[in-house]
Amino acid sequence: MRLSYQTDYALRDLQLRLVPLIKCIDQVCREHGLRYYLWAGTMLGAVRHKGFIPWDDDADLAMPRPDYDILMAHAHEWLPQPYEIVGPHQSLHCPHRFAKIIDASTTLLERPDFLFPEGIYVDIFPIDGFTDDEAERRRILSRYKKLKKRHFFCFRDPYKHGGGPRAWFGLLFQKIFKADQVQGQIQDLMRTYDYDKCHTAIEYDFGTRAILPKQLLGEPKLYEFEGEQFYGVADADAVLTAIYGDYMTLPPVEQRAQHKFYYLDFNMPYRDFVRNGGLDKYSLKH
C-alpha cells in the first residue's frame, strides 16, 4: 500500500508544539552551564520574524562539540517525559548523523523509504573545530559528502522502485556497507579537529556555508522567539549572511515550502504506533 505525503497538517499547531520542547532544552542547558545556539532557519526566524519562519516546520539548535557531548551523555537523565533524545551517541545504527530531541507522545515518519518512527523533534547539531588549510578542508568535506551519501543508501528501502532487478543495487549495497560502520566513520571524521584548539568552526550539515570564525558564534546572546527568550549566535548578521546571503529578503512564494511528512500524529506515542503495526501498514513493500 503506497501512501502520499501529508501536506494538510496544521503547520501552526506543529510550530507551537515545538516551543515547549525548545524551552525544555534551554532550561536543561542553563541548569548545566551548556552553550547552545538557535541555528539555521530557527536563528533566521528569530531575527526576521521573532519566531518561526511562517512556512517552517522544524526547529534547529547547534552546540559546540564539548557542550554537545555532555548533553548527549546526560540527556536521558536530564530530560523530563515525554521528551527523549535519539542520535548516533546511543547507537551507530541510528540513521541521523546528529541528535534529535523528540516528543515521544507524538509520531512522525519523514519519508516512505526511511521508516524510522520518532516524535516531532528539534534537531541538535554539533559544531566542530576545523582546519584553516584550504586543501585539507576540501579533502575532509569531499570525504564527508561521500560518507553522507553512503549512509543514506544504508537506510534507503531497496524496494522503493519495485522488486526484481530494480531492487538489486540497494540490496547489494546494504550487504557491502553496514550502517553502523559508515556512521562510525562519519562521527570520527567530524571529530578530526578539537573544537577548543581551533579558531575556525564548522557545522558539517551545512558544509562550506557553515565554516565560520568561532568569534562569530561567540558567547550565546538572547533573542526573542515566539514570545520566549532563547540563545542564539553572537553575530547573527555575519552568520546568517554566510549561510543564506541576503537573509532579510523573503524568498519567492514558490520557494516557501514546508516539509511533506509521510505520517504525522500529534496524539499517538510513537511506541504505540509501532506496537499497533504502523510500520507494516506504511511499508513500501506492501
Q: Measuring CA to CA, which residue among 114, 103, 117, 144 is closest to residue 267?
A: 103
Q: Point out the least confidently predicted range of 101-110, 124-133, 273-282.
A: 273-282
For residue range 3-57, what is the model confidence (pLDDT) as tens digits? 345 555 688 999 999 999 999 999 999 999 999 999 999 999 999 999 999 999 9
Helix-, strand-, coil-residue percentages of the chain, each rounded to 5 = 45, 20, 40
Question: Across the chain, which distance is largest between two alpha carbons, in Å?
Answer: 55
| Local confidence band at 176 (pLDDT 50, 70, 90 cut-offs) | confident
- CA atoms of 232 and 43, how far apart (whole Å): 7
Task: For residue 122, report the phi and psi dihedrals to the nearest 5 degrees.
Answer: -115, 125
For residue range 95-112, what is the model confidence (pLDDT) as tens digits? 889 999 999 999 998 876
User: What pLDDT score was predicted for residue 90?
Assistant: 81
pLDDT: which is higher, 199 or 177: 199
Beta bridge partners of 37: 62
For residue range 215-227, what is the model confidence (pLDDT) as tens digits? 999 999 999 999 9
For residue range 255-271, what is the model confidence (pLDDT) as tens digits? 888 777 888 999 999 99
- CA atoms of 65 and 124, how far apart (whole Å): 11
Complete domains list, the chain, with CATH: 11-128+202-282 (3.30.460)
- Cell output for 35: 552553550
pLDDT score of 137 more than 90 = yes
pTM of the model: 0.90
Say if residues 65 and 128 touch (Cβ distance below 8 Å).
Answer: yes
How many Cβ atoms from other residues are within 10 Å of residue 29's Cβ?
21
User: What pLDDT score was predicted for residue 157?
Assistant: 67
pLDDT score of 205 more than 50 = yes
Averaged over 76-91, what is the pLDDT?
93
Look over the chain and give the mean of its residue pLDDT values, rounded to a whole number. Answer: 89
